[in-house]
Structure 1
Amino acid sequence: MLLLFTGIISMLCLPLSVVGAADVRDALIYKMEILIPPKEGRDETADIQQIKNTVADLKDIAVIFAFKELGSPKIVLVLEVEKACSWPQLTSFLSRKGYEYSVVPVSRCSDYAHELGVNLPDDLWTYSFEDENLTMVTKIHPVGDLTTTEYTERLKVTFEQDRAILKTGQKGACFRVLAEYPVKLVYIAPLSPTQIQAIEKVLYVRGIHEATRIENLASYTAVCQGD
């Protein structure tokens, strides 16, 4: 039994491509949210800086995105995990500090669009944002009384619209939350306040509203830009 357990652990520490996961690309990418609970005497700025430094030093975990929600002590990470046994270097740190966190597997929207038969090249999306007015929009596609075919067609139209928007020069990134139904897509894009209001209005009418202002974690200083 001990030998079996040791063998399983050894397999977990191999890259997923070696283990032979069914869909390596899907299995490697995760969206993590870290919340710093309020606590008397806690220095929120110092805590966020420590998270930023810890994330920067991760081994075998590539940080695709690292953001902080504006007005909230919450960090949002999109991570590509090369080895399953690399997680403890991050989760052990978070547990010791008493931070709350959640993790969901995601895939790139380009991969999902390809599954649906829509050509949405990954290089149309952006994977590096400057210190811009960034927004994270979660878009849930309700099923309603649609048939499977009709629902699939609606998703295909969504990605075709995304492709057209990206070709105009609009920057953005997109991930699909796996094992979620109805389908949930997470968009990240630099948007002006006017654009945000327009998007929120559309999403609210459709009952799928969730938009959050974020900033690059690398740019976080806790100094108000108006000072």
Structure 2
Amino acid sequence: MFVVLFGLLALSCLPLSVLGVPEDRDARMYRVYIYLPPKEGRDETADILEIKTTVSGLTDIKVLFSFKELGNSLVILVLRVDKACSWPQLTSFLARKGYEVKVTPVYYCSDFARELGLNMTRDFYDTTLENDEDLLMGKQIFPVKGLSTTQYDDMLKEMFQKETSILNAGQRAACFRTLADVPVEMMHFTALNQKKVEALVENLNAPSHFDLDVIRIQKLDQYTGRCK
């Protein structure tokens, strides 16, 4: 389970000239899933609170977002690694605890939109989701389904154009794309405003567009483990 994680550790130790500058689309940003499978004697609340404390104290690793799935033992992090060889702070902790971990390189959806020829600044999407307690994460995978490159790109452009209208109307969301060619995978974190979210989900789940998985999440810094 740590093959990918330690592969990234090795990658992070390469010289900066090899890894690229921070503005590159592959400038060491990662989505990290941490699963806490049921285990006899495990105190899930204590484990999640320990993860919360550990990630908040990382040096040269910027925690862009940290969430827990509501109702499940899954912690979701989006990290930016600002300094090479800073991974051991996190990887040694996770290896010692024996959690199931999956790490995926990501970059900003706004950068991807510009690659498609759209005029979208990086600050178009939200970068903090401050003051929002009720949140959703939507993961979208765009199957190729026999489309030509032009048809595939046009489908993605159409999705971004519809999403631009929804966000301009006041819906707030953060968005990242996984660093892979095809199929394209993107994830949105968005505030739970019922009417506006319905419009966003309708766009994200439009026929012939892509597969959509939506879960409820909460910010990790709000997690106390107490019943509400």
The TM-score bracket by the shorter chain reads 0.7 to 0.9
SS in 2 for 1:67: strand
Provide TM-score, normalisation by structure 2: 0.85
- Stretches of structure 1 that go unaligned for 5 or more consecutive residues are 1-8
1:222 equivalent in alignment to 2:222: no
Which of 212, 217, 226 in structure 1 is aligned with 2:215? Answer: 212
Deviation, 1:165, is 1.4
- Conservation of the 8 A alpha-carbon contact between 1:120 and 1:159: no
Partner residue in 1 for 2:6: none
* Residues 66, 75 of structure 2: 8 Å contact kept: yes
Q: How does the TM-score come out when normalised to structure 1? A: 0.85
Q: Any unmatched runs of 5+ in structure 2?
A: 1-9
- In the alignment, is the contact (CA less than 8 A) between 1:37 and 1:100 conserved in 2? yes
Rounded to whole Å, the distance in 2 between the matches of 1:158 and 1:197 is: 15
SS at match of 2:215: strand
Cα distance in 2 between the residues matched to 1:204 and 1:164: 15
How far residue 50 of structure 1 moved from its aligned partner, in angstroms, is 0.5
**Counterpart residue number, 1:152:** 153
Structure number, greater radius of gyration: 1
Give the number of equivalent residue pairs: 214
Describe the SS at the equivalent of 1:139: strand
Indicate the SS of the match to 1:90. helix
For residues 38 and 184 of structure 1, the distance between their equivalents in structure 2, rounded to whole angstroms, comes to 29
Letter in 2 for 1:161: K
How much has 1:197 moved relative to structure 2? 6.7
> C-alpha separation between the residues in 2 aligned to 1:20 and 1:41?
42
Aligned to 2:187: 186
Answer 1 or 2: which has greater helix percent: 1
Distance 1:138 1:87 in 2: 25
Looking at structure 1, the residues matched to 195 and 165 of structure 2 have their Cα atoms a distance apart, in angstroms, of 20
1:55-74 alpha-carbon deviations (Å, 9 max, x no partner): 01101100000000001111
The percent of aligned pairs where both chains have the same amino acid is 47
1:203 aligned partner: 205
CA contact under 8 A between 1:29 and 1:78: conserved in structure 2?
yes
Asked whether 1:28 is paired with 2:34, we answer no
- Aligned residue for 1:86, secondary structure, equals coil
Distance 1:180 1:100, change over 3 A: farther
What secondary structure, in the 3-state scheme, does the structure 2 residue paired with 1:113 have? helix
Distance in 2 (alpha carbons) for counterparts of 1:124 and 1:181 = 24
Q: Which residue is equivalent to 1:164?
A: 165
Cα distance, 1:204 vs structure 2: 8.7
Distance 1:63 1:221 in 2: 19
Distance in 2 between the 1:13 and 1:145 partners? 38
